Amino acid sequence: MKKNRNSLLEIIWFVVILSLFIFSLKMIRNGDLPQIVSSFGILAPVILVGLKASTLIIAPLGGSPLYFLAGAMFGNLQGFILCFLGDTIGSAGCFFISRKFGDKIVRKLAGDKFFVQIKKYANLLGDTKSFIKARIAVFNIPELSAYAAGLSPISFLKFMLIQMPFSIPVSFLLVFFGSQIANLSLKYFFLYPLILSFFALGGFVALYKDYESSEEFLKDEKAKEI
C-alpha cells in the first residue's frame, strides 16, 4: 500500500512539473514569461528553492525536472544559483534529519526501497575517501549520499565540503539544458547523460571494491549460501 502511494506521488509530481515546464515554454514563445515571473516578485525564486530542497528531503519526489524548469523560467545563471541553493538546503536537511532522528524518520521520508540503499551506503562510509567514492557513484542522487552521511560517523562540515561541489556540474548542466530546450536548441542534450554515466561508473567501481572488503559484503555472501 505504501509502495503504491509513493508511486502515485511520483507520478503526480512528474505530471505537475511537466505541465509547468510546458506552460513556461509556451509563455517564452509568447514573450509573456518574464512578466509572469516578475509578477510573483521574491515569491517565485523562494518557491523554487523550497521545492528543490523538498525533493531531496522527501525522496519519492524527483528533483531533476525542476532543473529544467528553472533554466526555462530564470535562465542559466539565476536558475543555477536557485537550484544549487535548494540542493544545499535540502542536503543539510537530509543530513540533520538522519543524524538527529535516525532510521525511523528516514524510512518514512525516503520509503522502504530507498531506505535499504541508504543503509547500505551508510555502512560503507567510514572515512573521507569512501564518502568521495560514494558521492561520485551517486552523482545525481544527492539525497542518497546526504541521508547516508547522516547515519555515518562523518562530520557535517566534512559532509558539506564534499557534497556540494559535486552538485555544481549537475545543477549547471541540467539548468543549461532547460534553458536550451526553452530556446528550442537540443544539440547539446546528449552530453549530460554521457558525462553523468562516466562519473557514476567510476564511482561505483571504486565503491564496490570497498564493499567487497566490508562486513556488509560478508553478510550478503553468507545469506546467499543459506
Q: What secondary structure does DSSP assign to 61-127, as a single string?
A: S--HHHHHHHHHHH-HHHHHHHHHHHHHHHHHHHHHHHHHH-HHHHHHHH-HHHHHHHHHHHHH--S
Q: Which residues of 122-158 are buried (b: 16+ CB within 10 A; e: fewer)?
A: bbbbeeeebbebbbbbbbbbbbbbbbbbbbbebeeee
pLDDT in tens, 207-217: 555 555 555 54
Asked if 76 contacts 67 with a C-beta cutoff of 8 angstroms, the reply is no
pLDDT in tens, 104-149: 999 988 888 889 989 988 988 888 888 998 888 887 789 999 999 9
- Mean pLDDT for 10-32 is 66
Question: What is the pLDDT, as a whole number, of residue 192?
Answer: 47
Range of the domain at 123: 2-225
> Residue 164 corresponds to which cell in the numbers above?
556540494
Query: Is residue 190 predicted with pLDDT exceeding 60?
Result: no
Asked if 73 contacts 33 with a C-beta cutoff of 8 angstroms, the reply is yes
Question: What is the pLDDT, as a whole number, of residue 11?
Answer: 64
Question: What is the pLDDT, as a whole number, of residue 8?
Answer: 60
**Into how many domains does the chain fold?**
1
- Mean pLDDT for 11-36 is 67
Residue type, 80: F
Question: What is the pLDDT, as a whole number, of residue 97?
Answer: 96
